[in-house]
Amino acid sequence: MYEGIVQDLIDELGRLPGVGPKSAQRIAFHLLAADPADVKRLADVLVEVKQKVRFCQTCGNVAEDDQCRICRDPGRDPTVLCVVEESKDVVAVERTREFRGRYHVLGGAISPIEGIGPDDLRIRELMQRLADGTVTEAILATDPNLEGEATATYLTRLLKPMGLRITRLASGLPVGGDLEYADEVTLGRAFEGRRAVDD
């Protein structure tokens, strides 16, 4: 135990995800030894990020205004909507430079064992967005794990009666890997989603 404010700092740092007591102590002493200007800059950014950043009223992505940069961009295709779990998934898809549509961030995946049901996600907002008929294709880009698949299954059941084209991101072999090392679930998916090459 350290005295007063040093221990307070260690305790606060220890509450961050992935930071244990030892790491918290190391970061705290790094900050104590650092240049005061660097520490002030970090503190200012922390305060500013909480003041300025909010969630986009349209898609739920992180934004500095009522709407995020992507929702404000008139060059984006409003007929294609990519449904993702988290804001960081938007960044991952944007990195591909393949997608020019818009996004909808659910805020997680359905996980009953963690007490997260459909009502805890931004599914109602998604339905409201789709109600005006502008969107013709919904791409379900939830994580390719069990919760993500179950969320996609739930959304498919909900969206099907709306007459949209509903697609799911392909699952399969990673680029640059060897076939023999693929696990049977991934390889099975790759076979399921195979495509003709002579089209």
Partner 1 sequence: MGLYRDEGVVLRTQKLGEADRIVSLLTRRHGRIRAVAKGVRRTSSRFGSRLEPFMHVDAQLAEGRSLDVVAQVETVTPYGQPVCANYGLYTAGTVMLETTERLVAEEHEPALQQFLLLVGGLRALSQQEHAPGLTLDSFLLRSLAIAGYAPSFSDCAHCGAEGPHRAFSPAAGGLLCADCRVPGTARPAPETIELLAALLAGDWEVADASEPRIRRETCGLVSAYVRWHLERDLRSLVYVDRTPEPNGTVRG
Return the ∠ at Cα 85 (arms to 165 and 132), rounded to 5°: 40
In the complex with partner 1, the residue whose CB is nearer, 106 or 110, is 110
Give the residue among 118, 171, 104 at the shortest CA–CA distance from 144: 171
Instruction: Determine the distance from the C-alpha atom of residue 156 to the mean position of all C-alpha atoms in its chain, rounded to a whole number.
Output: 19
171: left (phi over 0), alpha (psi -120 to 50) or beta: beta
What is d(CA 82, CA 88) in angstroms, rounded to the nearest whole number? 13
In the complex with partner 1, the residue whose CB is nearer, 50 or 157, is 157
CB atoms under 10 Å from CB of 70, counted, come to: 18
List 5, 33, 113, 196, residue binding partner 1 (CB under 8 A): 113
The site map against partner 1 for 160-189 (x = CB under 8 A) is x-------------x--x---xxxxxx-x-
List 35, 115, 132, 179, residue binding partner 1 (CB under 8 A): 115
The site map against partner 1 for 4-33 (x = CB under 8 A) is --------------x---------------
Does 149 contact partner 1 by CB under 8 A? yes
What is d(CA 138, CA 34) in angstroms, rounded to the nearest whole number? 49
Q: How far is the CB of 117 from partner 1 (least distance, A)?
A: 5
Residues that bind partner 1 (CB under 8 A): 18, 110, 112-115, 117, 145-146, 149-150, 153-154, 157, 160, 174, 177, 181-186, 188
